[in-house]
Structure 1
Amino acid sequence: MSSSAASSQARVVLSSADIDRALTRIAHEVIERNKGASDILLLGIPTRGVQLASRLAAKIRAVDPESPEDLLGRLDITMYRDDLHQGPVRAVGGTEIPATGIDDRVIVLVDDVLFSGRTVRAALDAIKDLGRPQAVQLAALVDRGHRRLPIRPDYVGKNLPTSIDERVRVQIDEIDGEDAVVIEQPESDGEAAR
Structure 2
Amino acid sequence: MEKTIADNLTIQRSLTRLTYEIIEKNKGVNDLVLVGIKTRGEFLAKRMAKQMLKLEGAEVPVFAVDITDYRDDRPANEQHNDLSNQVLTNIDDKHIVLVDDVFYTGRTMRAAMDALMDLGRPERISIAVLVDRGHREMPIRPDFIGKNIPTASEEKIKVNLAEVDDHDSIDLIK
Q: TM-score range by the shorter chain?
A: over 0.9
Structure 1 counterpart of 2:46: 54
- The 2-side partners of 1:49 and 1:67 are apart by 18
- For 1:58, the aligned partner's letter is K
Give me the identity figure in percent: 45
2:127 pairs with 1:138:
yes
AA in 1 matched with 2:53: R
Find the aligned partners of 1:93 and 1:27 in 2 and give their Cα distance. 30
Specify the alignment match of 2:78 in structure 1.
none
Structure 1 residue runs of 5 or longer lacking an equivalent are 1-8, 86-91, 186-194
Shift of 1:66: 2.9
Letter in 1 for 2:165: D
Tell me the TM-score normalised to structure 1 length.
0.83
Pick one of 1, 4, 12 that aligns with 2:4: 12
Corresponding position of 1:189: none
Structure 2 counterpart of 1:173, which letter? Answer: A
Q: Over the residues paired in the alignment, what is the CA RMSD in angstroms?
A: 1.5
AA aligned opposite 1:77: I
Counterpart of 1:118? 107
Name the counterpart of 2:152.
163
Q: Summarize deviations over 1:163-182 as a string: whole Å, max 9, x none.
A: 00001000011111110000
Match of 1:75? 65
Instruction: Tell me how far apart the structure 1 counterparts of residues 64 and 59 of structure 2 sit (CA, whole Å).
Output: 18
Displacement of 1:83 in angstroms is 1.2
Deviations 1:58-93 (A, max 9, x none): 01111110344xx211111111101125xxxxxx79
2:171 is aligned with 1:176? no
Matched, 1:151 2:140: yes
AA aligned to 1:182 is D
Q: For residues 65 and 97 of structure 1, what CA distance do their matches in structure 2 show?
A: 23
1:45 to 10, 24, 37: 37
Structure (1 or 2) with the larger CA radius of gyration: 1
The aligned counterpart of 2:92 is 103
1 CA distance for matches of 2:115 and 2:38? Answer: 13
Instruction: Give the whole-Å Cα distance in 2 for the aligned partners of 1:45 and 1:128.
Output: 15
| TM-score, normalised via structure 2 length | 0.92
**Count of residues paired in the alignment:** 168
